[in-house]
Structure 1
Amino acid sequence: MNLDLFVRQIETMYGRLSELYQGASAPSVQMPQMLPGVFKELGTASEKLQLAAVELLQQNEELIDSKTLLEAERQRYLDLFEFAPDAYLVTDTEGIIQEANRAATVLLNIPQHYLIGKPLAVFVPEAERLHFRRELNLLKGRDRVLEWGIRLQPRNGEVFDAALTLGSVRNCEGQVVGLRVCVRDITERKRAEAALENNDYDPIDDRPVHTYARGEMIPLIPQTIWLVCEGLVKLSTLADNGEEVIVGFAGHSTPFGSSMTSLQVYQATALSEVQLVCIAIAELGISPRLAETLLPKINQRLRQTEILLAIAGQRRVKDRLSRLLLLLKQEIGQLEAGETRLSVRLTHEELAAACCTTRVTITRELNKLLQEGKIALDSDRHIILKNGAFS
């Protein structure tokens, strides 16, 4: 119901009640005859007011529901802004920061409440601030989203290459009242581009090294791949009965990651102390040299997978184990005095998982190979393959 109409109805009812009251107050011989009509009219008025009140209450509840939905939608967008992986800022037309998400506070190394009200220019190296302000004045009046490469310096931090994506914020009259700014650290991208000029390019160089101990699970990060610097990583899945099935080994300079498999269950475990570097899949798209370097290593992984499938297809466990030891000889073998020592100590359970059999069966087959003199064990329980036994 329209609020103005309701008010007019109330005023009309009030006026009619006043007339009835005045008529009832005046002495009249007709008063007894008037009372039934008065009560009837009062009853009708009361019903109308009750219906109007119910309708207004319903409209009020609908407004409350709409307000709740709008608030929830507003909170959802605030959460998207706050927890976005990239740094986002909202500034006024002069570049004074009005809003900042968590990623921005991490990137600029300053608490959120201190960041609000500061000019974005204070995070530009002092020698470049005049140029920054000049460019900002030129960019802020444009309608389309703009990309801008600059250098930024976080509080108490080192200068880094950044890419700014700017868009205008307009009011109802279409006037520019602020800027939306997305800030990305593109140091790695710049490094990859510079590496194109280097003939000795190695994707391991100039990247943070992550170390994992033997037996430790390695997190598989979406849209990234790991590259092994040192050590050996076991790649495995689970069969329907819950048993582990090894689907690959990643040794030196071998890539692996969730982006390289379609298996729903896929895990990576360090078989020794391993050192890894992380490479974003996006880098492969912008660095042909990086893609060219990793392609042969990915092909090597594919060939290894084919060999493991061929091993699993052997009917006799003896043949599976022999072929697995030959594969390990090629992957992690170290030549010592005409014999080959496997640089990583593998448990019987791990060998059984790679051969699709039981630990007891593998133990029996290894003992046979020991008795035949085809293998030996050193003091650290590393397997030594005798010369000519596996070729």
Structure 2
Amino acid sequence: MSDSFSNDLRQRALEILHGQPINIGKMSSEEIERIVYELQVHEVELQLQNEELRGAQQALLESRQKYADLYDLAPVGYLTVNPAGMVEEANLTATQMLDMARERLFRRPLVSHVAATHRQAFLNHLQRLFETQSPQRDELQLVRANGEVFYAQIDSTPEPAAESDPARCLMVITDITRRKQIELAEYEQRLFAASLRLIANVLNSTLDLDEVLDLILENVDYVVHYDVAEVILFEEDEAVIAGSRGYTKRELHEDVDSLRLPVETTPNLAHIRRTGQPLLVPDI
């Protein structure tokens, strides 16, 4: 118990006893002994109460520290945000996600860490939250201080507050970049399979080579986006460009479609013919 608290208790006791002096001269020795005994018992009681208070205070401090550790070291980011979108509190995970020190993040508009294409969605998220006072969830692209973009799931809940307290919300940020990458890969696989099925159907329905090649070029763009593309057929020692797409000038398109290349002196073509495998060439 602090000295200031003990002094306060003493002052209050003196005020209560003020005007009520004890006349020891009129008391018998037995009464004085009883009073002394009661005072000793009361002193022991106060000592025990002080020990209990100190123990309770220490337990409270330890509990607060455990809560602080759980808050800071949670696997998701926690932010407290006001209706203007300003960050008022942040746990350690959130600061690491956004790559910014806690003191710099404090009172900073969170929208500055939202990708430009998702900022309106974030502002709508906040508006719905505080207008309806109901939880909101959105998936947005956030930007770290170093410029790196990542996908995040934002779960926001209004924070209960007294009538006089300012409105705030608790925002939970979960990094879902890996999940988004898996979803995109699955989507591309489904698109690729659909394109192959479409090409197979056309191959079974027409013998027109130009029509088949044009369809192949059209559907490849769904899987691997390109600016220009060609279909090359091997004829003995030569590679013939049988069809192309993406050339804007007609004369260039015609020149490409009539081009014949020697296989053995063209390393990329020689590799493809020899291995029968696709060849990835970096952008040049």
Shorter chain as normaliser: what TM range? 0.5 to 0.7
- The root-mean-square deviation of aligned C-alpha atoms, in Å, is 3.5
Alignment of 1:222-371 (within 5 A): none
Alignment-derived partner of residue 15 in structure 1: 20
* Code of the aligned partner of 1:91: V
Structure number with the higher strand fraction is 1
Q: Output one character per residue of 1:198-219: Cα deviation in whole Å (capped at 9) or x when no partner.
A: 23899xxxxxxxxxxxxxxxxx
Q: Output one character per residue of 1:63-93: Cα deviation in whole Å (capped at 9) or x when no partner.
A: 2212211221111111111111222222234
Alignment of 1:78-97 (within 5 A): 78-97=68-87
Please tell me whether the aligned partners of residues 95 and 179 of structure 1 are also in contact (alpha carbons under 8 angstroms).
no
Match of 2:43 among 40, 53, 74: 53
Q: CA deviation at 1:164?
A: 0.4
Is the alpha carbon distance of 1:101 and 1:8 closer, same or farther for their aligned partners in structure 2, counting shifts above 3 Å?
closer
Alignment-derived partner of residue 152 in structure 1: 142
Give 3-state SS (helix, strand or coil) of 2:146's partner.
coil
Structure 1 range deviating more: 129-138 or 193-202: 193-202
Is the alpha carbon distance of 1:167 and 1:176 closer, same or farther for their aligned partners in structure 2, counting shifts above 3 Å?
farther
- TM-score, normalising length: structure 2: 0.54
Is the alpha carbon distance of 1:113 and 1:106 closer, same or farther for their aligned partners in structure 2, counting shifts above 3 Å?
same
Alignment-derived partner of residue 168 in structure 2: 178
Question: Do structure 1's residue 65 and structure 2's residue 69 form an aligned pair?
Answer: no
Is the alpha carbon distance of 1:69 and 1:173 closer, same or farther for their aligned partners in structure 2, counting shifts above 3 Å?
farther
Cα distance in 1 for partners of 2:118, 2:89 equals 24
Q: Output one character per residue of 1:103-156: Cα deviation in whole Å (capped at 9) or x when no partner.
A: 212211112222222121221234654553343022135455432122211112
Cα distance in 2 for partners of 1:46, 1:93 equals 63
Please tell me whether the aligned partners of residues 149 and 164 of structure 1 are also in contact (alpha carbons under 8 angstroms).
yes
Question: Do structure 1's residue 43 and structure 2's residue 33 form an aligned pair?
Answer: yes
Q: CA deviation at 1:96?
A: 2.0
* Code of the aligned partner of 1:140: F
Q: CA deviation at 1:14?
A: 7.4
Please tell me whether the aligned partners of residues 141 and 168 of structure 1 are also in contact (alpha carbons under 8 angstroms).
no
Cα distance in 2 for partners of 1:120, 1:199 equals 36
Please tell me whether the aligned partners of residues 141 and 176 of structure 1 are also in contact (alpha carbons under 8 angstroms).
no
Cα distance in 1 for partners of 2:56, 2:129 equals 38
Cα distance in 1 for partners of 2:182, 2:55 equals 52
Please tell me whether the aligned partners of residues 141 and 152 of structure 2 are also in contact (alpha carbons under 8 angstroms).
yes
Cα distance in 1 for partners of 2:42, 2:34 equals 12
Alignment-derived partner of residue 105 in structure 2: 115
* Code of the aligned partner of 2:143: Q
Cα distance in 2 for partners of 1:200, 1:128 equals 26
Alignment-derived partner of residue 66 in structure 2: 76
Give 3-state SS (helix, strand or coil) of 1:140's partner.
helix
Cα distance in 2 for partners of 1:72, 1:189 equals 37
Alignment-derived partner of residue 89 in structure 2: 99
Please tell me whether the aligned partners of residues 129 and 135 of structure 2 are also in contact (alpha carbons under 8 angstroms).
no
* Code of the aligned partner of 2:73: F
Structure number with the higher helix fraction is 2
Cα distance in 2 for partners of 1:171, 1:63 equals 29
Q: CA deviation at 1:53?
A: 2.3
Is the alpha carbon distance of 1:200 and 1:133 closer, same or farther for their aligned partners in structure 2, counting shifts above 3 Å?
closer
- TM-score, normalising length: structure 1: 0.41
Q: CA deviation at 1:182?
A: 1.3
| Unmatched 5+ stretches in structure 2 | 1-7, 193-284
Q: CA deviation at 1:38?
A: 4.3
Give 3-state SS (helix, strand or coil) of 2:20's partner.
helix
| Unmatched 5+ stretches in structure 1 | 25-33, 203-391
* Code of the aligned partner of 2:175: D
Give 3-state SS (helix, strand or coil) of 1:156's partner.
coil
Give 3-state SS (helix, strand or coil) of 1:199's partner.
helix
Match of 1:190 among 176, 180, 184: 180
Is the alpha carbon distance of 1:199 and 1:16 closer, same or farther for their aligned partners in structure 2, counting shifts above 3 Å?
closer
Is the alpha carbon distance of 1:137 and 1:176 closer, same or farther for their aligned partners in structure 2, counting shifts above 3 Å?
farther
Structure 1 range deviating more: 72-81 or 57-66: 57-66
Cα distance in 2 for partners of 1:45, 1:9 equals 18
